[in-house]
Amino acid sequence: MILDNEIMTLSEELKDITITRRRNLHHHPESAWTEFRTAAFVADTLSDLGYEVQTGKQVIAESAMTGVPKAIILAEHMKRAMNQGANPKWVNKMGGGKTGVLGIFKFKKSGPTVALRFDMDANEIIEAQTDQHRPCKEGFTSLNKGFMHACGHDGHTSVGLAVAEILIKLKDELAGTIKLIFQPAEEGVRGAKAMAEQGIVDDVDYILGAHLGLQMKKTGVLACHITGFLATSKFDAEFTGLPAHAGAAPETGKNALLAASCATLNLHAIPRHSEGSSRINVGILNAGSGRNVIPANALLKLETRGATNNINQYMVAEAQKVIKTAAMMYGVDVKITEMGSAAGGNTSLELADKLSQTAKRLGIFEEIVPTCNFGASEDFSYFMERVQKHGGQAAYLMIGANLAAGHHDSYFDFDETALDLATKVISTSAIDLLNKVK
């Protein structure tokens, strides 16, 4: 049963509240595994709408969590969340950073299980504080210094809540089961694996993910067939040497900074792979304690990527070899810690086609791009892999939006009219799948 007109009307009614919610989230950004306020807000809203709400260890496999902040940091952020209005009822369930939320609603008629995934976390970026940056000018810039929604997840979450409401409003017309996944820690690609390994998508027939902007930098453009999710691994390398006075006894030191510099250069020189794209980035290097001391400590934060899991594994193996031998070269110790990962993956072609048909039927997009190369990593790939392995289908929508500045820029901002387009296309796609519209 096609409900396009109803959806259009409902979405437009929700337009303003969606923008308001997005700005509220933008105002209170929370980074990976600390989305206490955001998740509590989502849980409250879903609960009010009538969804069964799961959170904490119900939806997060602790064994699959990586890159979790220390307990003291988690405690500080929990406290901040509650000071900023988070419902303690939910926050208390999210101990250890288990900030995922799952809303489930079974419609009366039987039908397929459809999952929609929205990511909630912010970036660790200091937001621009000038009037040329709209969030600043209009008063919804980050209250949490050092954190910023610079990737649009504030938009994703508020669209997810709008979709949640539309589905409930139309519940009598719908079949099957809807699962709304609000995921933490997409930045650093950490959250999806922990939710997928908890088994929450094992019964899912169709799963959809989406992103605002990225390659589609114009409002009104849409891509349904996304290729080139790069597999990725994130890790830290901590080098520990021996300090020494740089003037009086340089030969007695063990130089961790030089080991790290040597590693960095040689990491970037790992050979390209003939079977597809590879990437390496040492994003952060912090080393040394004083100008006149042979540096005894160094920390590298790096990531590898590959067009396939194999290529990424090649990069990981080479990178770890480089790091370990650079440490040996300078006589220092090194400890490598895994901080996150995402699989590579491919959209299910049949589902991508179906989404294109739906989007064309709606007639709200100026352009529907046939295929789009993601060229980066998204841990949605873990959900894709898990659903596809169980016989389901997975696809990802890239929803165009005019941008003020690129993703992860301190001036990032997007055209909020894209929120309505996103709400419409995601709601309609979900309903088409639930109701088996061909």
- Which parts of 396-425 interact with a second copy (CB under 8 A)? 406-409
Contact residue for a second copy among 128, 287, 316, 359 (CB under 8 A): 287
- Considering CB under 8 A, how many residues would be counted as binding a second copy? 76
CB 97, min distance to a second copy, A: 18
- Work out whether 243 is an interface residue with a second copy (CB under 8 A): yes
- Secondary structure letter of residue 170 according to DSSP: T
Applying CB under 8 A, the span of 41-49, 295-303, 352-360, 396-404 interacting with a second copy comes to 295-303
Using CA atoms, how far apart are residues 120 and 21, in angstroms rounded to an integer?
12
Quick count: other Cβ atoms within 10 Å of Cβ 5?
Answer: 8
Rounded Cα gap, residues 373 and 366, in angstroms: 20
String of contacts with a second copy for each residue 65-94, x by CB under 8 A = ------------------------------
Tell me which stretch binds a second copy (CB under 8 A): 53-61, 158-166, 288-296, 414-422: 288-296
- Least CB distance to a second copy at residue 30 (A): 16
| Torsion sign over Cα 371, 374, 380, 382 | positive
Is residue 116 helix, strand or coil? strand
Considering only residues 125 to 154 of the shown chain, the ones binding a second copy according to CB under 8 A are 125
* Touching a second copy, residues 158-187 (CB under 8 A): 187
Is residue 69 a contact partner of residue 115, using CB atoms and an 8 Å limit?
A: no
β-pair type (231-240, 333-342):
antiparallel
Q: Which of residues 182-221 bind a second copy (CB under 8 A)?
A: 187-188, 214-215
139 CB contacts (<8 Å, ≥6 apart)?
none
**Rounded-to-integer distance, Cα 418 and Cα 401, Å:** 6
Residue 123 binds a second copy (CB under 8 A): yes
Q: How far apart are CA 13 and CA 204, in angstroms?
A: 30
Residue 46 or residue 125: which is nearer to a second copy going by CB? 125
Residues 253-282 that bind a second copy (CB under 8 A): 253, 255, 257-258, 260-262, 264-266, 268-269, 271-274, 277-282
Q: Give the DSSP letter of residue 151.
A: S
Out of 251, 363, 370, 389, the residue judged to bind a second copy by CB under 8 A: 251
Q: Decide if residue 227 touches a second copy (CB under 8 A).
A: no
Q: Show Cβ contacts of residue 317 under 8 Å, excluding neighbours closer than 6 positions.
A: none
Candidates 284, 335, 337, 371; binder of a second copy (CB under 8 A) is 284
How far apart are the C-alpha atoms of 241 and 296, rounded to whole Å? 4
Does residue 336 belong to the site contacting a second copy (CB under 8 A)? no
